[in-house]
């Protein structure tokens, strides 16, 4: 992995802001302006042909507000390497789509748009993927209330805030085994 990191540092120099190695994983914080070029180089030249995931972090109250995170993997030449590339993005900016590099990125980018509201330059399909069309909020933003927001669409979702206590995905606090704690094991009336 050292040669991959040194190759990237030699090629992109000051565009790589920071390199962090933790528990055998390498993370590069890169300059937003060069991020897509670096990602394309990783795919085309370094054989990171598997895009595991794209995610985003909400640094609410801090600028830049967003951090984009790309999880890359390669199995080329019998080497199994994982590489994480991150860059910061201002709240009013759009990220560049990488769906032209890895076609599966379109799904990840749609999910990020749907949950965080981050738009992507070059993404052909900005339809929501988890929430319904017309939903006015982005539920994974830190300024979205934990209790949710009321909806005026009774046919599509709850008309009131969804309760968390005792819900189908909330475990019960107990010292009992997982079978008794796990919500899927409870009978639903």
Cβ contacts of 105 within 8 Å, gap of 6 or more:
51, 54, 97, 98, 99
pLDDT: which is higher, 39 or 175: 39
Residue 166 confidence (pLDDT) above 60: no
pTM of the model: 0.78
Give the pLDDT of residue 101.
97
Cβ contacts of 54 within 8 Å, gap of 6 or more:
68, 69, 70, 71, 98, 105, 108, 109, 112
Residue 94 confidence (pLDDT) above 80: yes
Using alpha carbons, list the distances in angstroms from residue 125 to 39, 90, 106, 111, 120: 21, 22, 8, 11, 10
Chain mean position to CA 186 = 32
Give the pLDDT of residue 189.
44
Q: Where are the domains of the chain?
A: 2-144, 147-184
Give the pair of three-digit tokens for residue 14: 């000051």
Q: Which CATH superfamily is domain 2-144 in?
A: NADH:ubiquinone oxidoreductase Nqo5 subunit (3.30.460.80)
Window from 26-35, 80-89, 126-135, 141-150 with minimum mean pLDDT: 141-150
Residue 176 confidence (pLDDT) above 70: no
Give the pair of three-digit tokens for residue 42: 């990783």
Within the chain, residue ranges assigned H as helices are 2-12, 32-44, 105-116, 178-181
Alpha carbons 123 and 189: distance in angstroms, whole number = 44
**Mean local confidence (pLDDT), 137-164:** 68
DSSP letter, residue 122: T
Give the pLDDT of residue 49.
92
43 close to 36: Cβ distance less than 8 angstroms: no
Give the pair of three-digit tokens for residue 79: 């080497």
Give the pLDDT of residue 136.
83
pLDDT in tens, 21-58: 988 889 999 999 999 999 999 999 999 999 999 999 99
Residue 92 confidence (pLDDT) above 60: yes
90 close to 65: Cβ distance less than 8 angstroms: yes
């Amino acid at each position: 992995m050292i040669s991959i990191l040194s190759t990237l540092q030699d090629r992109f120099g000051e565009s790589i802001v920071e390199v962090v190695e933790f528990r055998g994983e390498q993370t590069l914080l890169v300059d937003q302006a060069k991020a897509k070029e670096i990602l394309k180089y990783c795919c085309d030249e370094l054989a990171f042909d598997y895009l595991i995931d794209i995610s985003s972090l909400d640094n609410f109250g801090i600028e830049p507000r967003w951090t984009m995170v790309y999880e890359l993997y390669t199995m080329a030449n019998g080497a199994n390497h994982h590489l994480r590339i991150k860059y910061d993005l201002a709240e009013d900016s759009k990220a560049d789509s990488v769906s032209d590099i890895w076609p599966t990125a379109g799904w990840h980018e749609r999910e990020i748009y749907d949950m965080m509201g981050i738009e992507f330059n070059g993404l052909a399909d900005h339809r929501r993927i988890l929430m319904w069309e017309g939903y006015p909020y982005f539920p994974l933003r830190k300024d979205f209330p934990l209790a949710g927001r009321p909806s005026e669409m009774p046919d599509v979702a709850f008309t009131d805030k969804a309760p968390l206590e005792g819900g189908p995905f909330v475990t019960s606090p107990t010292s009992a085994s997982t079978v008794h704690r796990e919500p899927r094991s409870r009978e639903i009336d």
